[in-house]
A and B are shown apart, each in its own frame.
Chain A
Amino acid sequence: MNLQIKNLKVKAQEKEILKGVDLVVGAGQVHVVMGPNGSGKSTLANVIAGNPMYTIVDGRLTIDGKNINKLTPDKRAKLGIFLGFQNPIEIPGVSVFNVIRKATSNKQSFSSNKQKAIRNKKTNGQLPVASGSVSAFRQDLLEYAASLKLSPDHISRSFNEGFSGGEKKRNEILQMLALSPKLVILDEIDSGLDVDGLKLVAQAIKKFSTLNPKSSIILITHYARILKYIKADFVHVMADGKIVKSGKQKLASEIEEKGYQFLSV
């Protein structure tokens, strides 16, 4: 999926947070957005996903050439945008299984039209395989959970209620795997994870990229340590609501060594 951000200016409660961000993410690319606290990284992630807390003052967000400025978050999700939250919320009484099932069932009804044509071509007019059977879906979900070292009863648990920090993060990745989105934004997915947890998550992201080669990924992070496990195509540095520097993976290691100060303009 192609994401284009042009001169994006965003405010929240009358305070300007993004002051003209430009970013182009091509299909299948991995981008890393780094920056000190308060530089606007999380805001950028939330604005792409359509968080109504933020107001776009100026600029354009386009997905495959389509302006999405005015789309509600659910419509963006249906286009294939996925945000892995920095602080995922709890939904007491609703199981992980139910949230993801609801999310995937929505996705299917949306894409069935487009996929229909493809499927009919592929299968020579054969009946589509009965997709969306609940037990098959449960099986898939259990496999994804196992790959993230989440216990089999994880999917029956009340959503994020009583989860450890690491479980919450892995639960975000679990949803990413189940939804196979076309644009993944992971907001500080690495924070609050120990080394083993980080490795697991990084492996899952890599596997996701291999299975979904056209899907683009934006990793938003404070530290460069996740880049030990994932190769980025581009690295951007944000400061004070703007992208101040872009480069390749090397840029990340420079920041790791010297801190953000060396960039201060």
Chain B
Amino acid sequence: MSNLPATDYKYGFSKPENYVFKSKKGLDVGVVEEISSMKGEPVWMRDLRIKALGIFEKKKMPSWGADLSSINFDDIYYYIKPTDNQKSDWRDLPKEIKDTYDAIGIPEAERNLLAGVTAQYESEAVYHSFQKKWEDMGVIFCDMDTALRKYPDIVRSYFGRSIPAADNKFAALNSAVWSGGSFIYVPPGVKVDIPLQAYFRINAANMGQFERTLIIVDEGAYVHYVEGCLPAGEQVSLGDKWVNIESVKPKDFVITENGEAGKVKAVMTRNYKGKLVKISPISTYNSFRLTTEHPVLVVKRGDVLKKRKPRGGWLLETDTKLLENAVPGYVPAGKLEVGDFLVFPKIKASAITSLSEKELRLLGWYLAEGSTYVHKKLKMPIVSFSLASYEKRRLDEVENLIREITGKNVYRIADKNKRGVSLVVYSQKLRDLCLMHCGKGARTKILSQEIMSLEWDVAKPLVDAYFEGDGSVYEKGRLMIRASTASEHLARQIQELLARGGYYACINVRKGSADKILGRSIVRGDQYVLYYAPNKKWSEVRTTRDYYLVPIKKIELLDYDGPVFNLDVDAPNSYLVRGFAVHNCTAPVYSTDSLHAAVVEIFVKKGARCRYTTIQNWSNNVYNLVTKRAFVEEDGVMEWVDGNLGSKITMKYPSCYLVGRGARGEILSLALAGSGQHQDAGGKLMFLAPDTSGEIISKSVSVGTGRTSYRGLVKIIKNAERVKCNVRCDALVIDEQSRSDTYPTMEVAEDNVQIGHEASVSRIGEEQLFYLMSRGLSEVEATSLIVNGFIEPIVKELPLEYAVELNRLINMSMEGAVG
């Protein structure tokens, strides 16, 4: 791989995605012109960009804040145009949301309101009707590139008016290379009652790193805009489920080589052009692709051979003793050979269950043969099991199980042609149980976390029943058990449960086609065929106490050009790809090319109100340097709610320029700095007219070696009489090494004003911890609860789904830091 640039990221799991255009690394007039012409921009924007580039080159790096010395501007791709265009999306509220209303203590009345909103979120059609409604009211909500095309005059008259390129080095950079972001215009008097939201992916190699947002709220109008960089609607890896690597976030837990959960410290992504190695073990479904240098945990076949000559075209025979006692080691993927043994760890399980053996068995039958729905006319919850009419013994068993568990009558309903029988029961309890633990739909059935945490002995009734229902026994030299399912997740999960019991099951994919079941013609989707040998003597897979050794059947080299991903996982520095252990990258974790330099400009006209909410959780190698400013006219109100959790360094001080009499600005700033992070955040209030008022509330938490700084500026000019201003900054410091500083600046040129300033720094007391622990909370839970209480004044201002996510993120940070 000598053609790779030395700085390029070496190891990674790949994601097949094609980019339409990618600028070269580094920045010059050529790059800026290219970006502008790729986007087909008007001349004035191109000139603005080029001028901004000149300013950027002249401006010095800010030296007063966090340490930015390791940013290398020549090592950055400034523009990548993906095939997949920008998406702004409503995020479905999580299911647990109703519980959460209680948990975060939202008053009853407000809860009912939110419940209404939830229902609206859940329907895409409703979302569209909102969009239609906004359009009818004259609201414009689109991405910035579109705005520039469709509304060039508005954009031109506001772009850079509150934050000119010359404002600071990063504003200049953004002006030169900006791409994406949101544009919002709300016409006079229009109140947009539902928050407008846009999500930016965490994926650092993706677009949106230099996004530009422009919001104009015309006289008397109102809007709430939410900017999130949490991934929308994606699953989280908790060890019970498998997710795409690109959706894994720092602080998630993934399973490592020893079968236990390890915390992800960072998710890294780079563009890679070259060969990828595709490795296929005996189970073709479990094949995976890696860059050639990515270390994979294996036992090399050459190390465990018998001292005997090879026969015919066979692979050299291995010595079982040697193999089972061999210590696996990491070998670059490019050096692997067919016949080498991959390590497939058995995932550790422990938990206890509230499910009885009979319930587990019935759930197994449900996985295989069950379905649940609500009867349309009767409005009755139904669970139904379909079996063949000749399966007498099974019919009896399932019927008995249902009866014992629900205590209700079971109806046997025969198929028209008498080949099939459905066992039907009207039971909400059973429906809930099935949905909770197994999901529904042939392709989407998925086992619950509770079941996936069970030991083999406990989970066995479920797996057995599943194979009895969906499976078949056949002999192919040896006794084999086979089952097929349309749910990819379920296949993986059953494979894992079996692995705990000492059975290595293979999964092969059968492509969808027309098929027949019980005489009926159907079209099958892809089927995942699981098969395993119950007598554990599969000749090719060896088992040891903690893992399986699975031989490689095929190795292919593929050409690739696109982004690759890697995870940086806490000790033991490895994670599983398709069930097999691979090592973290060994390249430096913190590269310089993850830079997020956004600009947000807001204009709040007379009597208008705007709220802008941000929760950023960038991965921990991102420099997050954002300029946000609002101009507020007479009697207008601007509210910034700004939450900073992720990134390596954040420097962000949302500001309000109160230019009209009676204008008000509020800034709520929240910062959480874990180890290696520095959150330099705060706010600026500029009182430039009489009777203006404003407030800054800052809450910061530092954990481990994390550092938070509050940096604030309050400026009151001469003749800005009767200004009222209040600043409050509280810091919570969790560990001995954690650090918190306060840098408040006040420039007051007028005497007739009221100013308040309060600051506090606190630690979590032993007594608080003992009290909560004496209630049964672990130290981590107790700490999390106290931290969540500390930031509650800001969290309660967040949209609910963000509040929930924030809670989860904080609990995870505490888990890593405490105890």
Residue numbers of A with Cβ under 8 A of B are 49-53, 72-74, 76-78, 81-83, 85, 88-89, 91-95, 97-103, 106-107, 110, 112-113, 116, 120, 124-128, 130, 134-135, 138, 156, 158-159, 175, 179
Contacts and interface: CB of A to CB of B under 8 A. Distances in A.
25 contacts: A51-B770, A74-B776, A77-B775, A78-B776, A85-B771, A88-B771, A89-B771, A91-B768, A93-B792, A94-B789, A98-B103, A99-B785, A101-B102, A101-B103, A103-B775, A106-B777, A112-B354, A116-B352, A116-B356, A127-B405, A127-B429, A128-B354, A138-B102, A156-B105, A159-B789
Given A77-B775, A134-B102, 17 more contacts: A74-B776, A74-B779, A77-B774, A77-B776, A81-B774, A91-B771, A92-B792, A93-B792, A93-B793, A94-B786, A100-B775, A102-B781, A106-B778, A116-B353, A124-B404, A127-B405, A127-B406
Interface string B749-785: 0000000000000000111101111111111011001
B352 A93 contact: no
Interface of B: 98-99, 102-105, 107, 352-354, 356, 358-359, 404-407, 429-430, 432-433, 765-768, 770-779, 781-782, 785-786, 788-793
Given A89-B765, A120-B356, A95 B105 contact: yes
B105 A116 contact: no
Contacts of B767: 89
A92 B777 contact: no
Given A52-B766, A97-B105, A106-B781, A92 B789 contact: yes
Contact of B775 (A127, A128, A179): A179
A110 B778 CA distance: 12
Given A134-B103, A138-B102, A93 B359 contact: no
B354 A91 contact: no
A106 B785 CA distance: 13
Nearest to B107: A156
Contacts of A110: 776
Q: Across chains A and B, which 4 residue pairs bring their CB atoms closest together, nearest first? A: A93-B789, A93-B792, A94-B789, A77-B776
A72 B788 contact: no
Contacts of B792: 92-94
A68 B433 CA distance: 38
B98 to A, nearest CB: 7
A135 B766 CA distance: 32
Nearest to B785: A94
Nearest to A96: B105
B510 to A, nearest CB: 36
Contacts of B430: 127
B778 A74 contact: yes
Contacts of B405: 125-127
Contacts of A81: 774
Given A120-B356, A134-B102, A52 B777 contact: no
B662 to A, nearest CB: 32
B98 A134 contact: yes
B777 A102 contact: yes
A92 to B, nearest CB: 6
Contacts of B433: 127
A171 B588 CA distance: 52
Contact of B99 (A102, A116, A134): A134
Nearest to A127: B429
A135 B789 contact: no
Given A74-B777, A106-B777, A158 B98 contact: no
B164 to A, nearest CB: 40
A78 B775 CA distance: 8
Contacts of A49: 774
B548 to A, nearest CB: 30
A248 to B, nearest CB: 30
Nearest to B770: A51
Contacts of A158: 789
B645 to A, nearest CB: 18
Contacts of A138: 102
B776 A103 contact: yes
B788 A94 contact: yes
A126 B102 contact: no
A68 B476 CA distance: 57
B430 to A, nearest CB: 8
Residue in B404, B433, B770, B781 whose Cβ sees the most chain A Cβ within 10 Å:
B770
A99 B354 contact: no
A91 B766 CA distance: 13
B776 A93 contact: no
Given A72-B773, A74-B777, A91 B356 contact: no
A49 B105 CA distance: 29
Residue in B107, B352, B358, B406 whose Cβ sees the most chain A Cβ within 10 Å:
B352
Contacts of A103: 775-777
A143 to B, nearest CB: 16
Contacts of B791: 93
Contacts of B777: 74, 102-103, 106
A74 B788 contact: no
A135 B102 contact: yes
Contacts of A175: 775
A134 B100 CA distance: 9
Contacts of B352: 112-113, 116
A85 B775 CA distance: 11
A135 B765 CA distance: 32
B740 to A, nearest CB: 18
